[in-house]
Structure 1
Amino acid sequence: MAISTVSTKGQITLPAEMRRKLGVKPQDRIILEMEGDAILITKAHDFFELEGFLGPAKPPEEERDQMQRAVARHRAGGVDEKDIH
């Protein structure tokens, strides 16, 4: 447990030990959620960290080509279910 004071700007300081445990560095973003009368603080993951979860992004050209093919099929009346996702 740690105690932190709220500044006149509404800011608090996370103790170094908590920052280390969360893996929070300067300029990182955090998520604040109300849990009853408590605040839950979690590290907000960087967009690029999601690549490991979602898989690598396709090159823009490939995305554009796939979109153009889906639009052409839709206009022709043959939308494939996989194009909707």
Structure 2
Amino acid sequence: MPTSTLTSRGQTTIPKRIREALGLQPGDRVEFTLKEDRVLLRRAGADLSSLDGMLGHLGQEPVSIEDMNEAIQESASETVRAPEAGGGEA
């Protein structure tokens, strides 16, 4: 198991084997996550899970802005008409 020594300034060197495994280069940023009595170290970067759904799904045609606007307008019109159809108060 690779180890490293903490300096009086709170600095340490990430062992070469770990840097290579993570593909870290000079100037790269790292992120620390504290999990109970353990620390998770990983290369800092964008969380790609936030991009889920932004790209089209295989086999599906993308929806145009015009189609989206039309669907929104239809849904809004149905919502406005719904109380009248139910015989509610006017």
Report the TM-score when normalising by structure 2: 0.49
SS at match of 2:39: strand
Listed as ranges, the gaps of 5+ residues in structure 2 are 56-71, 73-90
The count of aligned residue pairs is: 51
Higher gyration radius (CA): 2
Quick one: which amino acid aligns to residue 25 of structure 2? Answer: K
Q: CA RMSD in A?
A: 2.0
| Aligned position for 1:11 | 11
Identical-pair percentage: 33
Structure 1 segments, 4+ long, off by >6 Å, are none
Q: Which protein is richer in helix relative to its size? A: 1
Q: What CA distance in whole angstroms lies between the structure 1 residues aligned with 2:12 and 2:37?
A: 17
Q: How far did residue 35 of structure 1 move? A: 1.0
Structure 1 unaligned spans of 5+: 56-80
Give the deviation of 1:39 after TM superposition: 0.8
Tell me the TM-score normalised to structure 1 length: 0.52
